[in-house]
């Protein structure tokens, strides 16, 4: 059979490292050799490392964001209350 034009796959490459990687599979690396407490310590170290990357908001940004969220929630509560009140009266009208 002929290969498609422009194909980069060459099954005759004969690279032994590819064969070894597919035969062995993954063994877990460093993670497989540690006990449960070692894995837990690694997990917490990774958490601390990720939290150091976070750009934390300033106090004024935090108060602004909090105010915006509270105002949005109050508006949504008002909308849902009005809709509920309307449905309540519609049901009372329809069913007596």
**pTM, 2 dp:** 0.49
pLDDT: which is higher, 21 or 57: 57
Taking the CA atoms of the chain, what radius of gyration do you get in angstroms? 31
Q: Which residue has the tokens 């993954």?
A: 26
36-62: per-residue pLDDT in tens?
A: 899 999 999 999 999 999 999 999 999
> pLDDT, tens digit, for every residue of 80-89?
999 999 999 9
Q: ∠ CA(37), CA(38), CA(42), 5° rounding?
A: 115
The burial of 83, by beta-carbon neighbours within 10 Å (0-12 exposed, 13-18 middle, 19 or more buried), is given as exposed
């Amino acid at each position: 059979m002929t290969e498609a034009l422009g194909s980069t796959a060459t099954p005759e490459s004969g690279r032994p490292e590819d064969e070894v990687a597919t035969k062995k599979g993954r063994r877990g690396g460093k993670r497989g050799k540690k006990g449960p407490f070692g894995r837990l310590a690694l997990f917490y170290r990774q958490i601390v490392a990720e939290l150091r990357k976070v750009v934390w908001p300033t106090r004024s940004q935090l108060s602004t964001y909090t105010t915006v969220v509270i105002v949005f929630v109050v508006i949504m509560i008002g909308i849902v209350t009005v809709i509920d009140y309307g449905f309540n009266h519609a049901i009372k009208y329809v069913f007596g």
